[in-house]
Amino acid sequence: MGLAVRKSRVHSHISIKKGICGGRSVVEGTRIPVWSIIKWYKLGMSLEEIMREFPQLNPAQVHDVFSYYYDNQEEIERDILENENEARFREASVE
């Protein structure tokens, strides 16, 4: 007798879709990029503060953001850097 194996996504709360947030990883069903939550955490925000600031996310989604980050650090660090560079460019063009 064979066992049925159900295939599941490793990060069920994270998606990447062309046309949403530049094709970057986001929390499924939102336009909240993974990199933005990680950046807030790196700036000193606790998990509890992040969940208060993003009330539309449940704890499983927030924890999956961190799990995804640890599995894909290079991608998320690149996204953070690209966003910082874009912000600097916008600031310079305003001055």
pLDDT digits (tens, 9 = 90+) for 42-73: 999 999 999 999 999 999 999 999 999 999 99
CA distance readout (Å), 29 to 12, 26, 56, 85:
11, 8, 10, 27
Q: Are 80 and 35 in contact (CB under 8 A)?
A: yes
DSSP 8-state code for residue 60: H
pLDDT digits (tens, 9 = 90+) for 8-45: 578 999 999 999 998 999 999 999 999 999 999 999 99
Q: What pLDDT does residue 91 have?
A: 63
